Amino acid sequence: MNDYVFVGKIINTFGIIGELKVLSDFEFKERVFKKDFNIYIGEDKIKEEVNTYRHHQEYELITLMGYNNINDVLKYKGNDIYIKRSDLNLEDNEYLLNDLIDLDVYDEDKYIGKVIDYTKTKEYYLLKVHLDKDYYIPCISHFIKKIDLENKRIDTNKGSDLIL
Protein backbone atom coordinates (compact mmCIF):
# COMPACT_ATOMS: atom_id res chain seq x y z
CA MET A 1 0.00 0.00 0.00
CA ASN A 2 1.14 3.48 -0.80
CA ASP A 3 2.52 5.43 2.16
CA TYR A 4 1.00 8.69 0.90
CA VAL A 5 -2.77 9.05 0.63
CA PHE A 6 -4.56 11.71 -1.42
CA VAL A 7 -6.96 13.73 0.74
CA GLY A 8 -7.93 16.71 -1.41
CA LYS A 9 -7.03 19.49 -3.80
CA ILE A 10 -6.29 23.13 -3.01
CA ILE A 11 -8.79 24.92 -5.23
CA ASN A 12 -7.95 28.48 -4.29
CA THR A 13 -7.12 30.85 -1.47
CA PHE A 14 -9.85 32.32 0.70
CA GLY A 15 -9.56 35.80 2.19
CA ILE A 16 -6.34 37.68 2.86
CA ILE A 17 -5.06 35.84 5.94
CA GLY A 18 -3.73 32.87 3.97
CA GLU A 19 -6.59 30.40 4.20
CA LEU A 20 -6.59 27.67 1.58
CA LYS A 21 -9.84 26.42 0.06
CA VAL A 22 -9.66 22.63 -0.19
CA LEU A 23 -12.04 20.33 -2.03
CA SER A 24 -12.04 16.97 -0.27
CA ASP A 25 -14.31 13.96 0.03
CA PHE A 26 -11.79 12.11 2.21
CA GLU A 27 -13.56 9.87 4.69
CA PHE A 28 -11.43 10.78 7.73
CA LYS A 29 -11.35 14.59 7.40
CA GLU A 30 -11.77 15.06 11.13
CA ARG A 31 -8.44 13.30 11.71
CA VAL A 32 -6.57 15.24 9.03
CA PHE A 33 -7.82 18.81 9.11
CA LYS A 34 -6.87 19.62 12.68
CA LYS A 35 -4.22 21.70 14.39
CA ASP A 36 -0.66 20.31 14.25
CA PHE A 37 -1.46 17.54 11.73
CA ASN A 38 1.18 17.10 9.01
CA ILE A 39 0.07 17.32 5.40
CA TYR A 40 2.16 17.03 2.23
CA ILE A 41 1.49 19.35 -0.68
CA GLY A 42 2.08 18.82 -4.39
CA GLU A 43 4.15 16.33 -6.35
CA ASP A 44 7.20 17.11 -4.21
CA LYS A 45 5.19 16.36 -1.04
CA ILE A 46 6.22 19.56 0.75
CA LYS A 47 5.58 18.99 4.45
CA GLU A 48 3.35 21.58 6.13
CA GLU A 49 1.43 21.65 9.39
CA VAL A 50 -2.26 22.52 9.71
CA ASN A 51 -2.83 25.53 11.96
CA THR A 52 -6.60 26.12 11.73
CA TYR A 53 -9.56 24.43 10.08
CA ARG A 54 -13.18 25.25 9.40
CA HIS A 55 -15.80 23.93 7.02
CA HIS A 56 -17.40 26.42 4.61
CA GLN A 57 -20.09 25.36 2.14
CA GLU A 58 -18.66 22.31 0.33
CA TYR A 59 -15.04 23.25 1.10
CA GLU A 60 -12.55 22.76 3.89
CA LEU A 61 -10.69 25.95 4.80
CA ILE A 62 -7.29 25.55 6.40
CA THR A 63 -4.38 27.75 7.38
CA LEU A 64 -0.85 26.46 7.63
CA MET A 65 1.52 26.97 10.53
CA GLY A 66 3.76 29.99 9.94
CA TYR A 67 1.67 31.49 7.13
CA ASN A 68 -0.70 34.40 7.75
CA ASN A 69 -0.84 36.18 4.40
CA ILE A 70 -2.44 35.25 1.09
CA ASN A 71 0.79 36.01 -0.77
CA ASP A 72 2.64 33.34 1.21
CA VAL A 73 0.28 30.52 0.22
CA LEU A 74 -0.51 31.38 -3.41
CA LYS A 75 2.24 28.93 -4.43
CA TYR A 76 0.04 26.05 -3.24
CA LYS A 77 -3.01 26.93 -5.34
CA GLY A 78 -3.97 24.01 -7.59
CA ASN A 79 -1.86 21.44 -5.72
CA ASP A 80 -3.01 18.14 -4.27
CA ILE A 81 -2.80 17.43 -0.54
CA TYR A 82 -1.53 14.11 0.80
CA ILE A 83 -1.01 12.61 4.22
CA LYS A 84 1.03 9.69 5.44
CA ARG A 85 -1.15 6.63 5.91
CA SER A 86 0.61 5.82 9.19
CA ASP A 87 -0.42 9.22 10.63
CA LEU A 88 -4.10 8.19 10.47
CA ASN A 89 -3.63 5.48 13.12
CA LEU A 90 -6.33 3.30 11.61
CA GLU A 91 -7.84 0.63 13.85
CA ASP A 92 -7.89 -3.00 12.72
CA ASN A 93 -11.49 -2.70 11.53
CA GLU A 94 -10.90 0.61 9.71
CA TYR A 95 -9.87 1.05 6.09
CA LEU A 96 -9.63 3.71 3.43
CA LEU A 97 -12.12 3.59 0.59
CA ASN A 98 -9.21 3.63 -1.82
CA ASP A 99 -8.19 0.26 -0.33
CA LEU A 100 -11.44 -1.23 -1.68
CA ILE A 101 -10.58 -0.58 -5.34
CA ASP A 102 -10.07 -3.90 -7.17
CA LEU A 103 -11.71 -5.99 -4.43
CA ASP A 104 -14.07 -8.72 -5.64
CA VAL A 105 -17.70 -8.41 -4.52
CA TYR A 106 -19.81 -11.46 -3.68
CA ASP A 107 -23.42 -12.02 -2.72
CA GLU A 108 -23.64 -15.38 -0.94
CA ASP A 109 -20.58 -16.67 -2.81
CA LYS A 110 -21.95 -15.51 -6.18
CA TYR A 111 -19.45 -13.19 -7.83
CA ILE A 112 -21.18 -9.92 -8.67
CA GLY A 113 -18.25 -7.79 -9.79
CA LYS A 114 -15.15 -5.82 -8.89
CA VAL A 115 -14.98 -2.45 -7.15
CA ILE A 116 -13.65 0.05 -9.69
CA ASP A 117 -14.32 3.36 -7.94
CA TYR A 118 -16.31 5.11 -5.23
CA THR A 119 -18.22 8.34 -4.87
CA LYS A 120 -19.80 10.30 -2.04
CA THR A 121 -23.41 11.31 -1.67
CA LYS A 122 -24.63 13.66 1.04
CA GLU A 123 -25.33 10.71 3.32
CA TYR A 124 -22.81 7.97 2.54
CA TYR A 125 -20.25 6.59 0.11
CA LEU A 126 -21.17 4.42 -2.86
CA LEU A 127 -18.92 1.70 -4.24
CA LYS A 128 -18.93 1.51 -8.04
CA VAL A 129 -18.91 -2.15 -9.02
CA HIS A 130 -18.46 -3.53 -12.51
CA LEU A 131 -19.28 -6.89 -14.03
CA ASP A 132 -21.14 -6.61 -17.33
CA LYS A 133 -22.22 -3.10 -16.44
CA ASP A 134 -21.56 -0.54 -13.72
CA TYR A 135 -23.73 -0.25 -10.63
CA TYR A 136 -23.39 1.21 -7.14
CA ILE A 137 -23.55 -0.34 -3.69
CA PRO A 138 -23.99 1.89 -0.65
CA CYS A 139 -21.01 1.43 1.65
CA ILE A 140 -23.11 0.97 4.79
CA SER A 141 -23.69 -2.04 7.02
CA HIS A 142 -27.18 -2.64 5.65
CA PHE A 143 -25.60 -3.57 2.30
CA ILE A 144 -22.06 -4.62 3.21
CA LYS A 145 -21.70 -7.70 5.41
CA LYS A 146 -17.92 -8.04 5.46
CA ILE A 147 -14.84 -6.39 4.02
CA ASP A 148 -11.82 -8.66 3.93
CA LEU A 149 -8.80 -6.70 2.71
CA GLU A 150 -6.43 -9.63 3.15
CA ASN A 151 -8.43 -11.84 0.78
CA LYS A 152 -9.46 -8.90 -1.43
CA ARG A 153 -13.13 -9.65 -0.97
CA ILE A 154 -16.35 -7.85 -0.04
CA ASP A 155 -19.47 -9.80 0.93
CA THR A 156 -22.88 -8.17 0.63
CA ASN A 157 -25.99 -8.84 2.69
CA LYS A 158 -28.45 -11.11 0.87
CA GLY A 159 -31.90 -9.61 1.02
CA SER A 160 -30.53 -6.11 1.51
CA ASP A 161 -32.60 -4.77 -1.39
CA LEU A 162 -29.46 -4.80 -3.49
CA ILE A 163 -30.53 -4.30 -7.08
CA LEU A 164 -28.19 -5.78 -9.66
pLDDT digits (tens, 9 = 90+) for 63-77: 999 999 999 999 999
Rounded to an integer, what distance in angstroms lies between the CA atom of residue 35 and that of residue 30? 11
Query: What does the pLDDT average to over 106-120?
Result: 89
Confidence band (pLDDT; 50, 70, 90) for 119? confident
Domains, the chain, in order of start with CATH, read 4-88 (2.40.30.60), 97-156 (2.30.30.240)
Q: What's the pTM value of the predicted model, to 2 decimals? A: 0.81
How many Å separate Cα 13 from the centre of its chain?
Answer: 21
* Cα separation values, 153 from 1, 9, 31, 76, Å: 16, 30, 27, 38
Q: Where are the beta strands (DSSP E) in 24-109?
A: 38-41, 46-56, 59-64, 80-84, 104-107
- Of 134, 157, 158, whose CA–CA distance to 147 is shortest? 157
- pLDDT (0 to 100) of residue 164: 47
| Residue 142 pLDDT greater than 90, yes or no | no
Burial profile 31-49: b = 16 or more Cβ within 10 angstroms, e = fewer: ebbeeebebbbeeeeeebe
- pLDDT (0 to 100) of residue 32: 95
pLDDT tens per residue across span 11-55: 999 999 999 999 998 999 999 999 999 999 999 999 999 999 999
The strand pairing partners of 84, in sequence order, are 4
